[in-house]
Amino acid sequence: MERIGIFGGTFDPVHNEHVYLAQQVKRELGLSALIAVPTLIPPHKSHSECAPAAARCEMLALAFGRENVCDYEIREGGTSYTYKTLEYLKSVYPDRELIFLVGGDMLEDFKTWKYPERILAAARLAAFEREGTHVDFGRECSLIRERYGAEVIRLKSCGKKVSSTKIRLYTMFGLDISAYVPRKVEAYIRREGLYAPTLAVELVRSVLNERRFMHTANVAVCALDKAKILGLDRDRVFDACVYHDIAKYVDPKKQPGAVPADAPEPVAHAFLGAYMLEHEFGIKDEDILNAVKYHTTGRAGMSKLEKLVFVADMVEEGRKFEGVERLRELFDTDFDACFAACVETEYRHLTEEGKTPYFLTAQCYEYYVKEKKI
Ligand SMILES: [Fe+2]
Ligand SMILES: [Fe+2]
């Protein structure tokens, strides 16, 4: 029986790794076709961060061919359920074997999906490993075998970790995305003006140099990829990151009283930035203002948003210093440990250079590293 692969995802946007993984799986399983099914994205995201459903379908058509895109979940609207999609596709292809591709890490939750039996009656599961995730494949596959009597195909193909957030934000910041998406998709994104820059991005572009602007984009990518896990609102994380270095090149003398008199020069821009955001740009969100104000010094008793901006500022992919790789590993696996390690790194860096850490930095170190109050 001919086999057809089913590949679901938000595809916002479809990128090179999707295309590569699809080609690999197609070859590995001898599929006659692989159909991409974009999921419906609930309409709550702002910052133009999310492309309209029609645009996501169009980009998929450019990457996979129009005949290989199924917009069933988008047409149906409401909550998408895999069993419904697969039963629909089975009715379209009654004499083909459907193979549903899943990331290995998704197997752990499979029993919580709506009607797992109906999913398995309509299709076979094929699981691929996803870079950065750890799954006991043998265990998960045997649990599914015991519970549902179904064999999961374990794929050799591995999905590399690619951040769609990065592609969207780089577009928003006007940075090069040619390495991440097929050329036709890139041209479509540009032509349609997807992921357009917000006013905040335009504003910081006008006051930062190229390097600092790139750093700002990378801080936002880093932090937004973590926002959901930390239960933080994406819009507020975005604003705090985009604005965090806004005063980097502003002379503190222009705003008397904005920076504490005893603040060392390298931390002045953080205080000045928070002051400008509040008094010149009318930002009233205390948490965002504090995230900007304390992103360099830290302080005792930081909010989750403050910690995230502090950490992202230090571990974003453009940073190069000894030990940064370890901090990035921790960022991926244990945020609290990463935060404490960042505080310690900052403190030690200053003392090893013979500088006296600002009192807020010293208090932060005492609180989080010595007293371990995470
Ligand atoms: Fe900064
Ligand atoms: Fe920064």
- The rounded Å distance from CA 83 to ligand 1 centre is 48
- The rounded Å distance from CA 213 to ligand 1 centre is 11
- The rounded Å distance from CA 232 to ligand 2 centre is 20
The overall pTM is greater than 0.85: yes
Domain ranges of the chain: 3-162, 198-370
* Ligand with the closest atom to the CA of 319: 2
- The rounded Å distance from CA 56 to ligand 1 centre is 35
68-73 average pLDDT score: 96
| Identity of residue 126 | A
Check residue 48 and give its pLDDT.
53
CATH number of 3-162: 3.40.50.620
Number of CB atoms found within 10 A of residue 178's CB: 9
**How many Å apart are CA 337 and CA 236, to the nearest integer?**
23
Contacts of 250 (CB under 8 A, 6+ apart): 207, 269, 272, 276
Residue 152 token pair: 């999961």
Q: What is the pLDDT of residues 196-208, one digit of tens each?
A: 999 999 999 999 9
pLDDT bucket at 40, cuts 50 / 70 / 90: confident
Check residue 93 and give its pLDDT.
96
43-52 average pLDDT score: 67
Say yes or no to pLDDT of 307 above 90. Answer: yes
| Identity of residue 194 | L
- The rounded Å distance from CA 216 to ligand 1 centre is 9
**How many Å apart are CA 157 and CA 242, to the nearest integer?**
36
293-311 average pLDDT score: 98
* Ligand with the closest atom to the CA of 296: 1
Helix (H) / strand (E) containing 126: strand 124-130
Place of tokens 């699809």: 22
**Cis peptide upstream of residue 197 (ω within 30 degrees of 0):** no
- The rounded Å distance from CA 270 to ligand 2 centre is 9
CATH number of 198-370: 1.10.3210.10
**How many Å apart are CA 19 and CA 184, to the nearest integer?**
13
Q: What is the pLDDT of residues 245-287, one digit of tens each?
A: 999 999 999 899 999 999 999 999 999 999 999 999 999 999 9
Place of tokens 């937004």: 224
Q: What is the pLDDT of residues 159-203, one digit of tens each?
A: 778 889 999 999 999 999 999 999 999 999 999 999 999 999 999
Contacts of 333 (CB under 8 A, 6+ apart): none
* Ligand with the closest atom to the CA of 311: 2
**How many Å apart are CA 4 and CA 73, to the nearest integer?**
18
- The rounded Å distance from CA 245 to ligand 2 centre is 5
> CA dist 20 to 23, 89, 159, 181, Å?
5, 23, 9, 11
Check residue 43 and give its pLDDT.
60
Answer yes or no: are the C-beta atoms of 85 and 121 closer than 8 Å.
no
